[in-house]
Amino acid sequence: MRTIIIHTPIWKKPVSLGIDVNKITDDLELICDYMDSNGKRLYPSPYYISKEKVLSYPKTVEKWGMSYRIPIQDMSSDKEKAFKEKEV
């Protein structure tokens, strides 16, 4: 499993995390360390998603390259739940 830290989410609805296509080598643990004006993390829990699910999203052109935009609502903060469908 690869851990990726995202500093700022993509605010366009639905709120998403953009992941560089070249970093998708394994299942992912995504940590968004964005903080609100009070210094609290807006998304304190890590999110988990399988490589197969990431690859099912369309690629998006960003200023810095190609990415997969994965809506936060489509990820799970429960590691076992995120990879349960992979075992079936």
Task: With respect to residue 10, please indicate whether it lies within any of the assigned structural domains.
Answer: yes
Task: With respect to residue 79, please indicate whether it lies within any of the assigned structural domains.
Answer: no
* Total of domains in the chain: 1
Q: Is pLDDT at 86 greater than 90 in this prediction?
A: no
Q: How far apart are CA 38 and CA 58, in angstroms?
A: 35
- Predicted local distance difference test score (pLDDT) of residue 84: 75
15: nearest Cα among 69, 60, 79, 62: 69
Task: With respect to residue 56, please indicate whether it lies within any of the assigned structural domains.
Answer: yes
Task: With respect to residue 86, please indicate whether it lies within any of the assigned structural domains.
Answer: no
Task: With respect to residue 70, please indicate whether it lies within any of the assigned structural domains.
Answer: yes
pLDDT digits (tens, 9 = 90+) for 26-75: 999 999 999 999 999 999 999 999 999 999 999 999 898 999 999 999 99
Task: With respect to residue 20, please indicate whether it lies within any of the assigned structural domains.
Answer: yes
- Predicted local distance difference test score (pLDDT) of residue 82: 77
- Domain containing 20 equals 2-74
**What's the first-to-final CA gap in the chain, in angstroms?**
19
